[in-house]
Structures are given as C-alpha cells and as structure tokens.
Amino acid sequence: MEPARQNVSHIDDSGQRPVVRGTDIKVSQIANEFEHLGMTADEIVEAHPHISLADVHAALAYFYDHQTLIRNEWQEGRAFIAEMRLRYPSRLNR
C-alpha cells in the first residue's frame, strides 16, 4: 500500500505578494533570479539555503500560472525606482 501523500502548498499567497511559505522570499524574486539572472533552481537554493528545491519549483510553477501578476509586480518596482531616482538624484553624478 502506498503511503498517503500530504498536499503541502509551498506558496503563501494570502498577503500582498506571494511568498515561499514560512519565509519572506517572494515568488517574484525567485522568478527574477531564474528568468533575468539565468540562475538554475539549484543555484537559487544555494543562494537561499533556507528554502528547498521543491520550494523553488513551486515558486516557478506559481510564476508560470500567474505571469501577468508577477510581471506587473516587476513593472511596479521599476516604476518606483525610476520615481525615486527623479525625486532623489544621486549626489555621485554631480
């Protein structure tokens, strides 16, 4: 007889932004590291040793199921950074 499997969700999407359950690592951060930085799932685990490979795969699956949401989050972040750069110019570029 096969042991009963627990349906454990690795993603907590009850807050403002989805995170790996039990951490403050956002799904968007893992997706960004994978998509834009070219990190492998193993490299992401190495960079965040408190999450598991299953957590990374769950975050990437969540990203692929909710790409518009995550891409909008990235765009909001870029817009915020651009606004802050305009509002508070760097003193180093004078």
DSSP state of 21: T
Q: Rounded to an integer, what distance in angstroms lies between the CA atom of residue 19 and that of residue 23?
A: 7
Q: What is the pLDDT of residues 66-75, one digit of tens each?
A: 999 999 999 9
Q: What is the pLDDT of residues 24-54, one digit of tens each?
A: 999 999 999 999 999 999 999 999 999 999 9
- Check residue 26 and give its pLDDT: 95
Residue showing tokens 């490299």: 43
Task: Indicate whether 56 pLDDT > 70.
Answer: yes
Task: Indicate whether 86 pLDDT > 50.
Answer: yes
Domain-by-domain residue ranges, the chain? Answer: 11-87
- Is the domain defined by 11-87 classed in CATH 1.10.10? yes
pLDDT, mean over the chain? 90
Task: Indicate whether 58 pLDDT > 60.
Answer: yes
Considering only CA atoms, which of 54, 57, 58, 49 is closest in space to residue 11? Answer: 58
